[in-house]
Structure 1
Amino acid sequence: MSIATSADGTPIEFFAIGDGRTVVIVNGALSKAVDAEPLAAALSDAGFRAITWDRRARGGSGDRAGSVPEDEVADLAAVIDAVGGVDAVLGHSSGAVLALYAATRGVPTGELFLSEPPIDFAGTGFTPDLVDRLQALVDAGQPAEAVAAFQLDAVGLPQEMVEAGRTNGMLDALAPLGQSTVYDARLTLRLREPSAEALAVDQPVTVLRGEQTFPFLIGAADRLASEIDRAQLVIVPESVMHRADPVATARVIAARI
């Protein structure tokens, strides 16, 4: 375990495994560095040095009230600087959105691998007021309810699935990540309509998705790959229902950098 210090002084905890070219993994919503360990292990087995880290307001990393997407960009930049630079960044879900946004802000990401980015091109998903509702729940001491609201309104999980999580204790287990839902909502809103800079990044871009995943993510991945200059779409059959298969994903990266 190591600590990188972000531009605003926030400590960001990260972990390294393996030797070789460096790949930083950027997790999606409601996940921590530990959740990326299987992917990091697969990358290590494929000859890479893999970096996992806790995004702001998660796990061993700190936070600052009022954080915005630019702060998360600075967090990623701090991790990249702390590990001595990278050859690639692999972002999954909202982590893919953060990776792409960071590239537009001048962060030296190396090659970009964007796994099932939830970019709402049509603007048919949640509305901007969700950010304030989530923050109000966290401020009221109800972080588990913030997680539930995020799952319902941002992720689109069925009510019965969220209620099952309430019954089986999953919501309570995710409660420590309540504040991070605010940041994920802000981030995905920021790239709801990707800027010209986002669609013309200089880095080579590979967009990944499974064959069996949510229709919204299929549409988002395919459209993003078609609109980014020189991007390529890679379908990973082993990745199912928004879960990036570690070995297959590592194999795609090894073939491209």
Structure 2
Amino acid sequence: MSELEHHETTSSDGTPLAYFRRGSGPALVVTHGSIATKEQWIPASEALAEHVTLYVYDRRGRGGSGDAADYSLAQEVADIAAMREVAGPGAHLLGHSFGALATLAYVREHGLGGGTLIAYEPPLAVQGPVAGERLPGYRELVDAGDLDAALEYALVNFVRVPAEAIPFIRETPIWGASVPLTPTWVRELAEIDALGSDLSPYADIHDPTHLIAGTATTSFLYQSAHDLARIIPDAEITDIDGADHFAHLADPQGFARVVVDALDTAAVAR
């Protein structure tokens, strides 16, 4: 098993970005989702490291990375650019959830220059605003410091997890790791809704693109992936049977196989 090498780089606005490097082979930069850190990707990295060199970073505002007073999706794009400089020319991108939106934005602006984009369940507003009028209620819980209640509120109202599933999620390691990160979700939800429901700009993406969705995930996440697969020219999509929004944690080896197959398919098509 390859070891984790911990490093740090700096984004264009001076924000430090902590990341780990692992494995050998073609470079793959991983951009994690909301209320998460790079640590969430350690299980999947064990399997992926047999095929690629992983660069998994903490997105700004969490983990070992810094933050700035101002925030926008454009800053996330700049952070990905900084990580691709570290990873080298032609590095592939893998983004999960909000991280998938950030990678899509990056590719629209910069292109990949030989790499492949893998987007796992980007949360687009395909069934109406993701947060909408419920965002103030979430912000109030965060501002009051009731982060535990904020996480439950967000999972039910934004991710649309059934309320009866919350007690089971509370028993998983995801809950304890996610609660302290709930404040960062406020600004990300605002950015998601600001993107709107028009997906036609994604037709400008001409780099190899592969979408991933779980058949047991929330309906708007499943629809987001499939709508994008129809809009992005020549995009491929893989459904993971029985998986939800956290397939990389529930079955890291199975998820890694999907990623490696996607990269191999794109390489053959070039």
TM over 0.5: yes
- Partner of 2:266 in structure 1? 256
**Among candidates 231, 236, 243, match of residue 240 of structure 1:** 243
Answer with 56-65 or 109-118: which moved more. 109-118
Letter in 1 for 2:49: S
Gaps (5+ residues) in structure 1?
A: none
Letter in 1 for 2:45: A
Residues 194 and 42 (structure 1), Cα distance of their counterparts in 2 relative to 1, 3 Å cut: farther
- Partner of 1:44 in structure 2? 49
Q: Is the 8 A contact 1:5 1:12 kept in 2?
A: yes
- Partner of 1:75 in structure 2? 79
C-alpha distance in 1, partners of 2:198/2:109?
13
Gaps (5+ residues) in structure 2?
A: 1-5, 249-254
- Partner of 1:116 in structure 2? 121
C-alpha distance in 2, partners of 1:169/1:91?
21
Q: CA deviation at 1:89?
A: 0.4
Per-residue CA deviation, residues 90-133 of structure 1 (Å, 9 max, x unaligned), is 11222211110121232647321111222222315420661x55
Secondary structure of the residue that 2:17 maps to in structure 1?
Answer: strand
Q: Is the 8 A contact 1:212 1:241 kept in 2?
A: yes
Q: CA deviation at 1:23?
A: 0.7
- Partner of 2:197 in structure 1? 193
- Partner of 1:100 in structure 2? 104
Q: Could you tell me the percent identity over the aligned residues?
A: 28
Aligned residues: 254
C-alpha distance in 2, partners of 1:85/1:217?
31
Secondary structure of the residue that 1:183 maps to in structure 2?
Answer: helix
Per-residue CA deviation, residues 198-225 of structure 1 (Å, 9 max, x unaligned), is 2221211111223343333322211111
**Among candidates 129, 135, 147, match of residue 143 of structure 1:** 147
C-alpha distance in 1, partners of 2:127/2:171?
34
C-alpha distance in 2, partners of 1:253/1:141?
42
1:230 equivalenced with 2:231 (yes/no): no
Residues 235 and 174 (structure 1), Cα distance of their counterparts in 2 relative to 1, 3 Å cut: closer
C-alpha distance in 2, partners of 1:99/1:114?
8
Residues 240 and 129 (structure 1), Cα distance of their counterparts in 2 relative to 1, 3 Å cut: closer
**Among candidates 205, 209, 212, match of residue 208 of structure 1:** 212
Residues 207 and 28 (structure 1), Cα distance of their counterparts in 2 relative to 1, 3 Å cut: same
C-alpha distance in 2, partners of 1:89/1:163?
34
Residues 122 and 169 (structure 1), Cα distance of their counterparts in 2 relative to 1, 3 Å cut: closer
C-alpha distance in 2, partners of 1:135/1:196?
30
Q: Is the 8 A contact 2:111 2:207 kept in 1?
A: no
C-alpha distance in 1, partners of 2:8/2:174?
29
